[in-house]
Structure 1
Amino acid sequence: MSAAARMSERLRALPGSARARRLLRWLAGGLLVVAVLGFFVAPPLVRSQAEKALGEKLRRPVSIENVRVNPFAPSLTVQGLSVKERDGSAVAAGFEELYVRLSYTSIFRFAPVVSALRLTRPSLQVTRRADRSYNFQDLIDEALAPAPAPAEPAQPLRFSVNNIEIDGGRLAFDDAVAGEKHEVTDIRLGVPFFSSLPSQVDIDVQPELSARVNGAPLAIKGETHPFKDTNETTVDVNLDALSLPKLADYSPVPLRFVLESGSLDTRIRVRFVTRGAKAVGLTASGTAGLSKLSIRDAAGSPLVAFERFAADIESIDVFGREAKVRNVRLEKPTAAVVRAKDGKLNLLEALPAAPAPEAAPKTEVPPAAEAKAFRFSVEDIAITAGQVSLADLSVTPRPFRTELGAIEVGIRQLANHGGRRAQVTASFATDGLGAFRHEGSLQLAPIVAEGKVSGEGFRLARIYPYLEPILNLDIADGTVAFEAGYALALGETLDLKVSGASASASTIVLRYPGEKDAFVRLPHAQLRDVSADLSKRQVVVGEVLAKGGVVNAHRVADGTLKFARLLKEQAVPAASAKEPAKAGAAASEWRIDLKRSVIEGFAATFTDEVPQPPVVVKVTRFRGLAENWSNAPGTRSTVRVGATVNGTGTVSARGPVTMSPFAAELDVEAKRLEFAFAQPYLEPRTNLALTSGALTARGRVLASAPAGGPFNAAFKGDVTIGDFASVDRVSREDFANWRSLHVGGIDFALSPLKAHVGEVALSDFYARIILSAAGRLNLADVMREAGDEAKSLTDTELRRVRPDAGAPTGETAKAPDGKGPESPAKPPADIRIGRVVLQGGQVAFSDFFVRPNYTADLKAIGGSVSEMTAQKAGVVELSARLDGTAPVEAAGRINALSSDLLVDLAATARDIELPAFSPYAIKYAGYGIERGKLSVRLKYLVENRKLAAENNVFLDQLTFGPKVESPTATKLPVLLAVSLLKDRNGVIDIDLPISGSIDDPQFSVWGIIGRVIVNLIAKAATAPFALLGAAFGGGGEELAYLEFAPGRARLEKAGTDKLAAIAKALGNRPGLKLDIAGRADPATDTEALRALSLERAVKAEKAKSLSRDAAKPASLDEIAVTKEEYPRFLTAAYKEAKFTRPRNFIGMLKDLPVAEMESLMRANAPVGDEELRSLATARALAAKDWLVGPGAVPPERVFLVAPRLGVEAIKDKGRPNRVDFALK
């Protein structure tokens, strides 16, 4: 009976309903279908699809002899698979049979679970061609190429393969490069399982590996130790001096390095534990070591080498994901680390290239169950006698090279679990005699480290190649040492703290390239007690010490500082535009605190080669102290500095300073700061030379720069410039000097502007002032243009030389006629000048503008000016002596600080000898002065922009010498003017009032005075009697003539009054002489003379009638003719007349009316020029007779001149019937 028949019988025999029987029949039918499909349909289908898929994947011909499928086992058997070379010439790989049996647990675990895998007689033919490629090179390259990123991240692969067996395997290797063939046969391999899932499959295979390598047997077998509940199998993997270079030579992956030497030794025991039929443990323990490993790069340069690497493994638990290592030893390691010019590291370049994978789109992936973290621990790690060679070829122009030797590293109790902290020590030495040490602890989970590092003897010159691209200097010498404690924690952020750190530098010597002398020498500098906190962004420095430093600073002839050349110019990329500042940047600034900084014994020399000769300033004994310095807002620190300058002067400053926002309150002091060293700066642009002078100052400086506000500075204190002396740079004669210029009580501020000075005192001062022949003051020549030839300020011979042409160089340009727009009124500045005191002054003045030259010496200059502000005028009291004898004084009030200038001064000068001014008299008057004294009283008032001045000039015994020809002398009658002004005592007393607006661009006080004097002399010529009248209160120019009645020469009361005034003036002006010229007017005097002739003829006739009377009048003028008498005497006079008169027919005179007689007598009166001249002469004689008579004027001072007829020369408004006076 067949199996199917037996099954049918059994089904019929089953009890139950018809429904159950139908279900069983359906089940039997399904099983029958599965059996048909599995046994008959699947094999040919699997075979054809497998050949096709494998052929496409391997790109080689693939054939399969037979496929069997058992759907109930379930299992798959593949027989006779062969893979040929790509050209189909030979079989490259294949096997006789592959048997795979699945476990039904795959259904419940949703993952493939293979309960058995057996491969029988597999074979593989490997050929390495002459080009070092393999016959499967295309498959190798494809496997190594990065796969494109999946659209969604793949979940970890879940599988379990158990009871893996390979039997009768064969591997043939044909090496065309080495010309060798190798063969591994009888390969038998047993692997209990290979799984990513906990195994629930019965394990029947023991671990085993055996083969024949070129005929030599190789066998690795495990031992099984059965116990009550478990079985333990162990496998020993022992390798002795396995040569690694040969294995590396056959690497399917192209290597970018050469494994020159090295061998592998192992004593590894693999332990496999099962409980029942289940695998529960896989561990390994033992030792492994590499010896004499040497790796070079493709060019043959050393990369890495060591003498011995050894690891003592306590256990590696694969299932428990834990490793325990007793110790690791690395002996005499060496490494050559090179960064190429393109920045690539040689060690990284030796690794296989790994192209970056393509970026995958971001998708949300559900979190997978967390796998158990792998744990490890190492009891002891030791690295001994290590050496590292470092070379950075990317640094230009000189690569950086150094050697690290004697590298020692020790790590104890290293673990990544349980909060265990390892103890770590490390040290190395450099070829520059430096040494580094570290002691500390390290925790890996989480990462926490703390410890102490120290170093000493590190030479700064070794790191200079990194500085050379940006710095232009040579580090000739210098070493640094340091030590620090640190604490590091790495969580979401890095937390690093440094504590107890210190650093020191010694024998620092810096030079400019190519120069022998150092510009910086620092014997010793030290940082102490430094701490830093990365999370708080704070650094605290306990103390900074520096001693004995020397700095040499230079400014070269082209005007640049050598310090500025320390930084080389860097090329700025075109795209390096500044990024906008990120928000919150200010909040992330570091805070730096410096508790104490001390600098002692420093010296600095500044040499400036721009001026010639070069200027050298030496600063010695520099000392500085700063306490509690910080950049934290509002933190006040204390600063003290001091130094000696050029051996004699000292400077110091002390006080609080705040860095943020900046503010400082410093007490400053300077003593005896000589500034004659600055002469080379002045020499190209001045004509004087400083020979001595020292600055002394003491006070308080306040400076502040509030956030968003303007910078402000203030000073309160005293400044003194003492022993100042300057000389003419050409003649070396004294130019200006003083013993002391003291400015005390200074209170100055920038914002708002304030300038208060308590006292200004200038004592024992001297100045040499010269007005050259060109009319230029030497003060205007103190400054000169660079490149101009030096000019003497005191050479009198040079200053006497008059230029050939051109206007005097001292002329002042005229202001424009127009007025600019008025600016709005500003409040007066807060300026106050306290008492100003002058004492012991002297000014030597020479004027070569006049010829002969004039020299004066103003000595004993002294006095004071009281406090002056914008609201308060200062009281002035000044005195001096001209040429040591004539006193000069000035007193009054002045306010030059007010918006409206106020001057209320009275000045006097007495007994000034006038012969000293003879050069001026010769130049401008044409006469020298032989004797005389000058006294002046001046009173000036400037108020409301108006000037009112009174100038009283008192000249005593002014005596001119002979006339001297001078092209610049006036043509006006100077001697006459003097005679007019000089009284009988030889005194000239003149008042010269002036006034004007000081806003007038043409306004000049001395110009006005000059014009007044010139006008005064001109007036002596044109209107001398005006001057004379002004002197004696007798009218003005009316004294220049004496009026008479027409036709008459008789003096009247007004005339004698005039003559009395003239007589008085002549009496007080003994140097004057008077010319008298009679004048007659033909127009008015002729008619008057005719009328007078008639009158006198009538009176003569009456006189005849009185001739016999004893009471006869003395002159005709005293005779009076009454109205009744007049016709009778007129008729008598008519009859006596000598002219032709009208007669009657008998020849007798006709009787005519009175009027006709008068008319005929006037018409025929003998009046002509002679009579007019006689009239003029009579008038002159009348004036002279009165002057020499009642007027008591000496006759030798009064002269008659020829009479004058007519009115042509008369310019005044007086009558032409007169006498003209002229002064000589």
Structure 2
Amino acid sequence: MSKPLPVRLLRYLLYLCAALLIALSILLWQAPGLTQRHLPGWLAKHYGLQLTLGKIEVALRAPSLTIGPTALLDEQQKPILAFEQLHLVPKLKESWQHKAILLEEAVLTRPTLDLVRLEDKKGEVRFNLTEALAPLLASIPASDPTQPVTEPLLVAITRVALAQGQIQYRDSRKNTSPGWVPPLTLGDLALQLPEFSTEATRSNPYRLSATLNKKSPLKAEGELDIMTGAGKGKISLDKLALAPFAPLWAPYLKVNLAKGDASAVLDYRLVQGKQGLGWQLSKGKLVLNNWQLKRPKGAEFARFNQLALTGIRLDGNKQSLDVDAASLKTPVISAVLDDKQQLDLADLLITQPPAKASKQQQTGKSKAAAPWRWQLKQARISGGNLKLTESSSGKPLARELTGLELTLGALGSATDQPSPLTLNSTLNQQSQLNFEGSLTPAPFALHGDIKQQGLPLAWAQPYLQDLLRIKVQDGLLTSHTKLALATDNKGALSRLEVTGGFDVDKLYVLDRADNQRLLQIERLQLSGLRYDGLSQQLKIGDILLRQPFARIEINEEGITNVQQLLLPRPGNKGTSGGPAPRILIDQMRTEQGNLRFADRSLSPEFVVDIASLAGQSRHISNIPGQRSELAFNGKVDRYAPVTIRGGTNLLIDDPVLDVAVAFTNLELTTFTPYSSTYAGYAIDKGQLSMKLNYKLQGNRLEGDNDITIKKLQLGEKIKSEQAKDLPLGLAIALLSDSSGVIKMNLKVKGDLDQPNFSLGNIFWDVLGNTLTKAITSPFSLLASLTGGTKDLDELPFLAGDPSLTPSQQTKLGKLAQALKERPKLSMNIRGKVNFNEERPILQRQKLERVLAKITGSPADLAQLEQDPPLQAALGEAYEAKFKEDLGDLADRLKLPKQSPALRAQAVLLLRDQQLITAKSLRNLAMRRAQNTKEFLVDTQGIAPERLFVLDSQVKETDKEAKVVLTLDN
């Protein structure tokens, strides 16, 4: 295997020097001038070397050789390699005895090397020096593996020194070429090699010092085997300015390094092995100091005081890199996140085109290069500062993380191993942020505890400004959560879980419409939080609200403040942010709450507080089909108890509600604004108790209101355009029992989608309708209050029968109960007949009385076919009336004699001959009214003076057999 180019070149130069020294030694005392005159020409002729050779001086008494200014020139006659003086002190006798080149001293003064990298040819790296020496190198025959190996000529120098040297490097290619390096100058070069020797396995100690780019001290010392290249030593470079190296990262980053330097120190080791010369670096340290990074237009975006990599170890054969620690001190980074969530730092990266595959890679014949193994034991950031201007709210907002302290444990090429991570910082000089957990690079995973304290919720206002008509005035958030974040091998999210809880202290929210308090919570405690980002599920164990206050208000236009909290966002119609997360809350508790309700649409305004509100809601969810359980207690205006029970789910697209609310002993004077607006009267006295049951399915609301009013007294009459003109005195008399108690059941229905929907308007409309019904349909009202049937105002009778049936008696019993409870009411009773249907029935009844006189016993024509005496009486009565017997009727009608059909015809003929007058029908109606009064008086105990039997006038248009009841005040 061929040796690396620098080693080969060095050996060839040694051979060249040895040849020159031998030639010069032969002519040492005879022909120095001849050598000076003819050697450059000979080298130019045979090897194409352009050499200028200085004056050669030979001393014989104390043998020495001094060569003056000498240079190797390129084709443009510019020096490539030159020196001012080469001074040699040979050991002639020892050299002859040992057949070697032995020198006492070799001193090279002011050597210079102008090294230029040329354009590559066919992938080969070319320099001006190798191009100049190419003919000479080509003349050296390659070693013949079939010939025995001969020992190289020994060269030993007691002292080798190089003084005031200089090396310049330039790359003539474009600065965008791969591997391009900016111009370098190595000045003040000094090299000391005591006891130099080319003897095999001989390590030559050396010491080198120089200045890189005129400012950065470079030092190296160690041992080197000149024949094999093996050796070891230490190298240091201090404060190298890196701005000139900008073209190296220009193809990849749009970054200007305004200032910054690098210092490095390391131990190296070069080892000759089976695979050639191997190298190792150890005890390395790389320090970057005082960096300032700017954008192409000059604005700073990052700076730091120091970045130090310590404990660096590199092994070229094993292809391994180990770093004990990476420490970054006081970094300051400024970034901008626009309203499209794009970070401006990403603009600094230059997208690289995909690398083209080689022919071997395309054919699959190439072997993949062995990967390097690397490991960083610890990384640390101290005193960091991140300045972020973000515009996700639509307006630029400054966010700053200060005092950033970050420690990251071991990282390496084994990317699936977790590394401990801790982070501490302060957000905007107010909120403390801490993280302690682990980081796995690939597949990426982040796990740990997040603690945050003292985050002002007022910072959220800009994000809510265009969404909600609220202003977050105050509130501090403290949280303690656990984060579990992971991706799969393709970078897709495989896990996102957040668990823990948070507290909010002294939350204060205003309604921006009137700048008044909308929501206030002394303390909110949330625990048992668990959010799964993959399944989009949010679970909360417990939410405790201490001393919460909320305000619900209806404005002058009848619109609630809750309806107007959500602000319209133009241009977002029909858009969807994906499925909403599934929410499950085990329970939400309230302590010492206060709910204020105000209706500004009334005159005067209505305001009521539900204070001391306490209770809980369990199993809150946005899952269709599930309902939360409500159980709350409170007091209205400090004294009247209120309870809320039921189930609800208001978090789904079609919300449902089934809740029962009970109020006890509310002072009715509080509701004067409503009675003034909708009834036209103030309330002077009274107490109200209600049991409300409301159900909401989708947008359809239904309510059932059981109302009890005690000692209601109306005050002055008030003019109101919305009030109905009703005789409320009569309505109250109808509704009030003997104790002055009114009990009602009001049912309300409404569609929340209707633009004019208002629960208050619906309720008062229903109440107004109930009062109207109390006046216009008092018996229906009594029926609803007593649980009776709706038709208490009428009692239907059997045709021709004045007697009360059991169902009529039951109905009258319920009516009597209502009359007893309302002693101020009296009742009118009027009998009615069905003229066309009841007249034939009365005629039949009169015929039965005629037949009964003949038989001497009661007659029932329904039993005619089973009663022979009654049949005989029928024939007698027929013959007496029509002067013919039934046989004649049979012959005339062609019916069999003694047949049922014949007797039926006789009954019809006799019935139609019975005279029934209007008086008879009136008597039937009067008997029905009288029987009704007698039942109420004798059986139900109603005072007879409260019951009035009205005259019953019979008309042919009467169509119903009944009793009609009416009430009077």
TM-score (norm 1): 0.57
- Matched ranges for 1:1071-1086 at <5 A: 1074=827, 1076-1086=829-839
Shift of 1:429: 0.8
| Partner of residue 462, structure 2 | 680
Tell whether 2:33 aligns with 1:239.
yes
Instruction: Please say if 1:502 is aligned against 2:290.
Output: no
Residue 114 of structure 2 is matched in structure 1 by 336
Q: Per the alignment, in what secondary structure is the counterpart of residue 1065 of structure 1?
A: helix
Partner of 2:182: 400
What does residue 265 of structure 1 align with? Answer: 56
The verdict on how the C-alpha distance between 1:1206 and 1:425 changes in structure 2, with shifts beyond 3 A counting, is farther
Q: Counterpart of 2:434?
A: 652
The 1:416–1:1057 alpha-carbon spacing in structure 2 relative to 1, beyond 3 Å, is closer
Find the counterpart in structure 2 of residue 549 from structure 1.
Answer: 331
2:465 is paired with a residue of what secondary structure? helix
Which residue of the partner structure matches residue 516 of structure 2?
733
Superposed CA offset, 1:921-963 (max 9, x none): 799x777674654423468999xxxx99997543445678979
In 1, the alpha carbon distance for the partners of 2:676 and 2:208 equals: 103
Residue in 1 aligned with 2:609?
Answer: 857
Matched residue, 2:9: none
Q: Find the aligned partners of 2:254 and 2:721 in 1 and give their Cα distance.
A: 72
Q: Which shifted more, 650-659 or 746-755? A: 746-755
TM-fit CA distance, 1:401: 3.6
Q: 1:940 to 1:1083 in 2, by over 3 A?
A: closer
Q: Does 2:129 match 1:351?
A: no
Cα distance in 2 between the residues matched to 1:489 and 1:578: 32
Q: Is 1:908 paired with 2:662?
A: yes
Give me the whole-angstrom Cα distance separating, in 2, the residues matched to 1:578 and 1:958.
102
Q: Residue in 2 aligned with 1:881? A: 635
Matches within 5 A, 1:509-588: 509-515=292-298, 518-556=300-338, 559-572=341-354, 588=371
Counterpart for residue 721 of structure 1: 504
**Which aligned pairs between 1:6-405 and structure 2 lie closer than 5 A?**
238-239=32-33, 242-243=36-37, 247=41, 251=45, 261-263=52-54, 265=56, 291-294=68-71, 297-298=74-75, 303-310=80-87, 324=102, 327-339=105-117, 347=128, 351=132, 368-379=146-157, 380-392=159-171, 394-395=174-175, 400-405=182-187
Name the SS of the counterpart of 1:620 in structure 2. Answer: strand
Residue 323 of structure 2 aligns with an amino acid whose one-letter code is V
Cα deviation digits, residues 127-175 of structure 1 (max 9, x gap) = xxxxxxxxxxxxxxxxxxxxxxxxxxxxxxxxxxxxxxxxxxxxxxxxx
Deviation at 1:462, TM superposition (A): 2.6
1:426 equivalent among 188, 208, 217:
208
Say if 1:1077 and 1:1204, in contact at 8 Å, map to a contact too. no
The partner residue of 1:1065 within 818, 841, 865 is 818
User: Which of 416-425 and 574-583 deviates more?
Assistant: 574-583
Report the equivalent of 1:465: 247
Give the Cα–Cα distance (whole angstroms) in 1 for the partners of residues 649 and 197 of structure 2.
90
Q: Tell me how far apart the structure 2 counterparts of residues 1184 and 614 of structure 1 sit (CA, whole Å).
A: 87
Q: Per-residue deviation at 1:739?
A: 2.0
Q: Residue 766 of structure 1 aligns with which residue?
A: 549
Deviation of 1:454 after TM superposition, in Å, equals: 0.6
Deviation at 1:670, TM superposition (A): 1.9
Contact 1:663 1:702 in 2 (8 A): yes
- Tell me how far 1:437 sits from its aligned partner: 0.5
Higher relative contact order (CA closer than 8 Å, sequence separation 6+): 2
- What code does the residue aligned with 2:834 have? D
Conserved? CA contact 1:630–1:637, under 8 Å: no
Cα distance in 2 for partners of 1:689, 1:956 equals 43
User: Within 2, Cα distance between the matches of 1:663 and 1:557?
Assistant: 28
Distance 1:1072 1:318 in 2: 155
Deviation at 1:406, TM superposition (A): 0.7
* Candidates 741, 749, 753, aligned match of 1:987: 741
Amino acid of the residue matched to residue 238 of structure 1?
P
**Residues 539 and 693 of structure 1: is their aligned pair in 2 closer, same or farther, counting only changes over 3 Å?**
farther
Task: Output aligned runs, 1:786-825, within 5 Å.
Answer: 786=569
* Alignment match, 1:935: 689
Q: Would you say the 8 A contact 1:593–1:631 is kept in 2? A: no
Please point out which of 1167, 1176, 1191 is paired with 2:917: 1167
For residues 280 and 951 of structure 2, what CA distance do their matches in structure 1 show?
A: 123
Distance 1:1007 1:376 in 2: 116
How far apart are 1:453 and its partner, in Å?
0.5
| Matched-pair contact (CA < 8 Å) for 1:237–1:266 | no
Q: Deviation of residue 436 (structure 1)?
A: 0.6
C-alpha change, 1:418 and 1:690, in structure 2 (3 Å) is same
Q: Does 1:620 align with 2:414?
A: no
CA contact (8 A) 1:662 1:704 kept: yes
Task: Determine if the alignment matches structure 1 residue 839 to structure 2 residue 591.
Answer: yes
1:913-932 equivalence runs, <5 A: 913=667, 930=683, 932=686
Shift of the alpha carbon at 1:434? 0.8
Deviations 1:1036-1059 (A, max 9, x none): 63652253763x878899877765
Percent identical residues: 22
1:386 is displaced (CA, Å) by 1.8
Match of 1:129 in 2: none
Distance 2:189 2:401 in 1: 47
Q: Gaps (5+ residues) in structure 2?
A: 1-22, 574-580, 750-758, 854-869, 882-904
- Structure 2 CA distance for partners of 1:610 and 1:296, relative to 1, 3 Å: farther
Deviation at residue 723 of structure 1 after TM alignment: 2.1
Verify the 8 A CA contact 2:710 2:740 in the aligned structure 1.
Answer: yes
Equivalent pair of 1:321/1:374 in contact (CA under 8 Å): no
Between the aligned partners of 2:773 and 2:368, the Cα distance in structure 1 is: 86
What is the CA distance between 1:661 and its match in structure 2? 7.3
The separation in 1 between residues aligned to 2:298 and 2:672, in whole angstroms, is: 68
Give, in whole Å, the separation in 1 of the partners of 2:146 and 2:794. 137
Tell me, yes or no, if structure 1 residue 454 matches structure 2 residue 236.
yes
Per-residue deviation, 1:1017: 8.8
- For 2:313 and 2:297, how far apart are their aligned partners in 1? 39
Indicate which of 475, 478, 487 corresponds to 1:693: 475
Q: Distance in 1 between matches of 2:146 and 2:358?
A: 45
SS at match of 2:398: strand
Displacement after TM superposition at 1:592 (Å): 0.4
Q: RMSD of aligned C-alpha atoms?
A: 6.1
Helix, strand or coil: the match of 2:33? strand
Partner of 1:743: 526
Aligned residues: 857
Q: Per-residue CA shift, 1:844-894, capped at 9, x if unaligned?
A: 334578898755433322224579999x99986421223444321246899
Which residue of 1 is the match for residue 886 of structure 2? none
SS of match in other structure, 1:676: helix
Instruction: State the Cα distance separating 1:457 from its structure 2 match.
Output: 1.7
